[in-house]
């Protein structure tokens, strides 16, 4: 067992403790960025002027009317930028654009004494536009060949031969939408300048170091002249990884120009209309199975709808390509990826970061193909799970394949799946107007950043003379419990009670050059760094203790705030007494910790290597009941077994699994982003820009029975104290809900039928799937055949209902004998 993963006797990690700020959250005493405005004197407020076109050139700006509005202090425009007028890391996101690239694009910003003054000032500004052609869907972009960024290609085996030799070949296409983050706290920044000209920005950001970098280059400064702090976030889910940077830069620019603090907080409508979402995808695919139903070949093209600029679309697409296999062995694979440029918000990171989109493709394929192969979908999935000595299409060994099997079997056993499948069959045979479905789906999700350089973390640990401990690390807290785990790691590493350790807010002047709290890597990176810093201090204290006890340093023990020595007759001493003694011996009581993930290698030019430290695994079973008249449904029961390694904090991990699953179910079944795709003047406007029009999961959508178990005997050798990441992987467990809905809809038709199901699988989408089943359209929207080429039309087939979500209509292609 490695020193990184080995746990001491009686560790603080592993105990199910509440979130470190839970009482603050539920009592309203937790402070977020915008709560600091009331504590800040003479604060100005910022409001944007948004473009009313999906795509248009800005031909004239007259800001003078705004200055006549009482309370307006200044209007910020491109002329005010002392550095680089760009808010992105790809230099394709002008902070003050001369061309509106999506409906709601901020052109200039107004600063006012009050938020209302800034809003009225923004309304008074006159801007003329010259409308330009716009692209609103991935299909339109594909037809126009409007792509941006890299186009990754991943290949293994002989795809053409694999498809030619396959006993069963299907091909089709699948288009699905994105998802709004809908964090409780919208984007917010508060900037001020001190007497030395130092810029201090409080930001709701998952990536303080990158926010610091963008603010600095907009202001024409060095990074050491800008400090960014993130106290905590009211949710992030990836939406605050890249998107906060430009907003923080606006606040900082305003503060520099006015000499006053500037607060920028988007209300919900502004937030939804201006900031990025999960990427929607368009996919085309061909798949081959042998006579027994084993996968033999997959050929797919993934087109991510990136919106108007690149943002994080390239790594999102790369992760999607690398996760198209999910948990299944496919000998021959060819995947091409590309990013569509459309006139929407610039789509960005969202929990799973492309992994869910890639995994969804193969899960949709298996769900559609299973009935046509004469196979139960659960059996088809089970037989295709990874086995011994198999590797992913990009060449990484799947070393823990047995965990997939163990999790699957535990769900089947603990969930009483065999009996319940029989119950579902009996129910469906006796109920004409409602049907049930029960589906099992696996998850295999790679943990590490796509870009190897990001897999590093830092920490600063301070031990005071009285024995109290203050830890700083580069990760940010957005409610996911990272700080809770870091406190437990530090207490375990030092051998002190949890109450001895306190955690400071994340700041760029304490821990520099940090990676984003993203990719489910926050615990691995920052936990490793904290453990490293604590071990440096502990090693120094061990020398002091060994001198006191007169024993070898190897015989010193730290446990629960007491220091003792094996083989010594001296009384044990308190931790605080030891730190006091060390201070008077001039022993350093602070340390900067560092951790880098070892064993990673990745060649993005050929999409080959081992980009992930390990895989997180899980299996979920979901049972649903569907109403045949409306398509309305309820989730009756969910059973989950998930692999978090050896849990650092079981309450936190179970909460993350439950929350991730529910958020995934929202994407799968409820949350529908709708942009105006008409030729009206409102073309490009987001129609679902409030809670009144964007349906989020609520208590009524929770499973009536919700069982979550952590996979046992799952120690992870290569991670801090044997744990595994938990943030993103559980979201994909929600595939089971959509697949259960597909099976329930198909049950309204003849046995053996396959139906298409839109995503999100709203009641309307489920109703149209039921109609397909009733009418005998049960080919799953697919064509059989094994020709090497296919053509997919740009528009749905002529038999598609005008409101039917049949965006996956397929080309008519004769089967090859």
3-state secondary structure of 303: strand
- Could you tell me which of 158, 5, 3 has the C-alpha nearest to residue 718? 5
pLDDT class for 809, splitting at 50, 70, 90?
very low
Rounded Cα gap, residues 797 and 711, in angstroms = 46
Q: Supply the pLDDT for residue 740.
A: 98
Q: Enumerate residues 6+ apart whose C-beta is below 8 A from 400.
A: 614, 615, 617, 643
CB 118 within 8 A of CB 110: yes
Under DSSP, is residue 364 helix (H, G, I), strand (E, B) or coil?
Answer: helix
Q: Is 800 helix (H, G, I), strand (E, B) or coil?
A: coil
Cite the active site residues: 728
| Phi, psi for residue 300 in degrees, rounded to 5 | -145, 150
Buried b (16+ CB within 10 A) or exposed e, 594-631: ebebeebebebeebbebbbbbbbbbbbbbbbbbbbeeb
Residues 6+ apart with CB under 8 A from 630: 763, 767
Cβ atoms 96, 239 nearer than 8 A: no
For the chain, the average pLDDT equals 95
- Binning pLDDT at 50, 70 and 90, where does residue 583 land? very high
- Pick from 317, 116, 337, 87: nearest CA to 215: 87
Question: pLDDT tens digit string along 168-188?
Answer: 999 999 999 999 999 999 999
pLDDT of residue 796: 34
Read off the pLDDT band of 700 (50, 70, 90): confident
DSSP 54: S
pLDDT score at 678 = 97
Note the pLDDT tens digit of each residue in 478-498.
Answer: 999 999 999 999 999 999 999
CA 103 to chain centroid? 25
Contact 773, 755 (CB under 8 A): yes
Pairing of strands 106-112, 601-603: unpaired
CA-based torsion, 369, 371, 377, 379: positive or negative: negative
Residue 416: predicted pLDDT: 98
Q: Are the CB atoms for 212 and 402 separated by under 8 Å?
A: no
In the chain, % of residues over pLDDT 90: 94
Dihedrals phi, psi of 344, to nearest 5 degrees: -130, 175
Query: Could you tell me if 671 and 124 are in contact, meaning their C-beta atoms sit under 8 angstroms apart?
Result: no
| Lookup: tokens for 338 | 């590309």
DSSP state of 689: -
3-state SS, residue 781: coil
C-beta atoms surrounding 340 within 10 Å? 28
> CA-to-CA distance for 775 and 772, rounded, in angstroms?
5
Largest Cα–Cα separation, the chain: 90
- Confirm if 722 and 715 have CB atoms less than 8 A apart: yes
Mean pLDDT of 500-506: 98
Residue 781's pLDDT is 80
Q: Identify the pLDDT of residue 83.
A: 98
Q: Are 456 and 595 in contact (CB under 8 A)?
A: yes
Report how far apart, in Å, the C-alpha atoms of 607 and of each of 315, 318, 519, 600 are: 12, 8, 18, 13
Please state, in angstroms and rounded to a whole number, the distance separating the CA atoms of residues 117 and 46.
Answer: 9
Above 50 in pLDDT, residue 616?
A: yes
Higher-confidence position of 793 and 90: 90
What value does the mean pLDDT take over residues 133-162? 98
**Beta bridge mates, 74:** 111
Q: What is the mean pLDDT of the segment spanning 590-600?
A: 97
Separation CA 233–CA 656 (nearest Å): 16
pLDDT of residue 782: 82
Q: What is the pLDDT of residues 736-788, one digit of tens each?
A: 999 999 999 999 999 999 999 999 999 999 999 999 999 998 887 887 764 33
pTM for the whole thing? 0.95
Main-chain dihedrals φ then ψ at residue 605, nearest 5 degrees: -70, -30
Q: Is 257 helix (H, G, I), strand (E, B) or coil?
A: helix
| Percent of the residues in the chain that have a pLDDT greater than 70, as a whole number | 96
**Signed CA dihedral, 23, 26, 29, 33: sign only:** positive
**What pLDDT does 780 receive?**
76
Calculate the alpha carbon distances from 489 to 39, 49, 486 in Å.
Answer: 33, 46, 5
DSSP assigned state of 498: G
Q: Is residue 798 scored above 80 in pLDDT?
A: no
Helix pair angle (355-372, 735-746), 10° resolution? 30
Question: Which H/E stretch holds residue 430?
Answer: helix 417-430
The 10s digit of each residue's pLDDT in 433-461 is 999 999 999 999 999 999 999 999 999 99
Residue 72 near residue 110 (C-beta atoms within 8 A): yes
- 324: pLDDT strictly greater than 60: yes
- Give the single-character DSSP code of 729: G
Per-residue model confidence as pLDDT tens digits over 515-569: 999 999 999 999 999 999 999 999 999 999 999 999 999 999 999 999 999 999 9
Sign of CA dihedral 340, 342, 348, 352: negative
Neighbour order of strands in the sheet with 590-596 = 501-503, 469-473, 456-463, 590-596
Residues with Cβ within 8 Å of 413's Cβ and at least 6 positions away in sequence, in order, are none
């Amino acid at each position: 067992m490695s020193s990184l993963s080995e746990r001491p006797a009686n560790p603080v990690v592993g105990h199910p403790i509440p979130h470190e700020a839970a009482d603050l959250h539920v009592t309203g005493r937790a402070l977020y960025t915008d709560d600091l405005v009331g504590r800040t004197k003479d604060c100005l407020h910022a409001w944007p002027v948004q473009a009313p076109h999906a795509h248009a050139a800005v031909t004239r700006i007259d800001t003078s009317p705004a200055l006549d509005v009482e309370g307006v202090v200044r209007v910020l425009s491109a002329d005010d930028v002392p550095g680089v007028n760009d808010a992105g890391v790809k230099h394709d996101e002008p902070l003050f654009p001369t061309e509106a690239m999506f409906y709601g694009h901020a052109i200039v910003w107004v600063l006012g004494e009050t938020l209302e003054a800034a809003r009225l000032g923004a309304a008074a500004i006159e801007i003329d536009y010259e409308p330009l052609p716009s692209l609103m869907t991935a299909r339109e972009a594909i037809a126009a060949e409007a792509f941006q960024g890299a186009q990754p290609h991943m290949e293994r085996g002989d795809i053409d031969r694999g498809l030619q030799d396959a006993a069963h070949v299907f091909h089709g296409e699948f288009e699905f939408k994105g998802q709004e983050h809908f964090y409780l706290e919208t984007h917010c920044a508060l900037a001020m300048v001190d007497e030395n000209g130092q810029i201090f920005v409080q930001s709701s950001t998952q990536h303080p170091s990158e926010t610091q970098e963008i603010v600095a280059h907009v202001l024409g400064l060095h990074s050491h002249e800008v400090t960014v702090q993130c106290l905590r976030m009211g949710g992030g889910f990836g939406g605050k990884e890249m998107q906060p940077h430009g907003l923080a830069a606006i606040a900082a620019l305003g503060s520099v120009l006015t000499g006053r603090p500037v607060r920028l907080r988007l209300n919900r409508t502004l937030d939804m209309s201006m900031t990025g979402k999960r990427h929607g995808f368009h996919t085309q695919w061909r798949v081959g199975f042998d006579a027994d139903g084993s996968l033999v070949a997959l050929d797919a093209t993934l087109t991510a709808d990136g919106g108007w600029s690149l943002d994080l679309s390239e790594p999102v697409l790369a992760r999607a390509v690398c996760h198209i296999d999910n948990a299944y062995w496919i000998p021959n694979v060819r995947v091409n990826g590309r990013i569509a440029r459309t006139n929407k918000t610039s789509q960005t990171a969202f929990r799973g970061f492309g992994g869910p989109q890639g995994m969804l493709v193969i899960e949709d394929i298996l769900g559609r193909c299973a009935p046509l192969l004469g196979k139960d979908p659960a059996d088809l999935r089970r037989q295709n799970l990874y086995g011994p000595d198999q590797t992913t299409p990009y060449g990484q060994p799947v070393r823990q394949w047995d965990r997939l099997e163990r999790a699957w079997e535990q769900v089947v056993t603990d969930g009483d799946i065999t009996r319940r499948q029989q119950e579902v069959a009996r129910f469906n045979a006796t109920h004409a107007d409602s049907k049930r479905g029960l589906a099992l789906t696996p998850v295999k999700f790679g943990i590490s950043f796509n870009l190897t350089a990001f897999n590093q973390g830092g920490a600063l640990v301070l031990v005071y003379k009285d024995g109290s401990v203050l830890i700083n690390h580069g990760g940010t807290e957005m409610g996911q419990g990272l700080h809770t785990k870091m406190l437990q790691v530090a207490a375990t590493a030092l051998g002190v009670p949890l109450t001895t350790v306190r955690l400071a807010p994340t700041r760029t002047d304490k821990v520099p050059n940090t990676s984003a709290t993203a990719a489910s890597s926050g615990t691995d990176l920052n936990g490793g760094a904290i453990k490293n810093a604590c071990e440096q201090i502990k090693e120094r204290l061990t020398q002091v203790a060994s001198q006191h006890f007169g024993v070898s340093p190897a015989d010193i023990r730290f446990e629960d705030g007491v220091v003792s020595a094996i083989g010594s007759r001296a009384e044990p001493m308190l931790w605080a007494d030891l730190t006091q003694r060390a201070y008077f011996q001039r022993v350093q009581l602070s340390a900067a910790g560092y951790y880098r993930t070892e064993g990673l290698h990745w060649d993005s030019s050929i999409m080959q290597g081992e980009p992930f430290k390990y895989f997180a695994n899980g299996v979920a079973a979901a049972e649903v009941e569907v109403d045949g008249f409306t398509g309305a449904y309820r989730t009756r029961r969910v059973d989950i077994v998930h692999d978090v390694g050896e849990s650092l904090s079981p309450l936190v991990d179970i909460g993350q699994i439950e929350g991730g699953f529910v958020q995934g179910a929202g994407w799968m079944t409820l949350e529908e982003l709708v942009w105006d795709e008409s030729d009206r003047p409102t073309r490009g406007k987001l129609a679902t820009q409030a809670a009144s029009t964007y349906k989020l999961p609520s208590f009524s959508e929770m499973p009536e029975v919700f069982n979550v178990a952590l996979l046992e005997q799952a120690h992870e050798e290569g991670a801090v104290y044997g744990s595994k990441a938990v943030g993103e992987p559980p979201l994909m467990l929600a595939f089971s809900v959509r697949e259960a809905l597909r099976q329930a809809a198909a049950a309204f038709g003849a046995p053996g039928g396959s139906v298409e199901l839109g995503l999100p699988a709203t009641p309307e989408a489920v109703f149209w799937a039921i109609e397909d089943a009733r009418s005998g359209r049960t080919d799953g929207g697919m064509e059989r055949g094994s020709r090497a080429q296919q053509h997919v039309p740009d528009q749905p087939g002529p038999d598609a209902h005008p409101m039917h979500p049949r965006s996956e209509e397929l080309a008519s292609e004769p089967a090859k004998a």
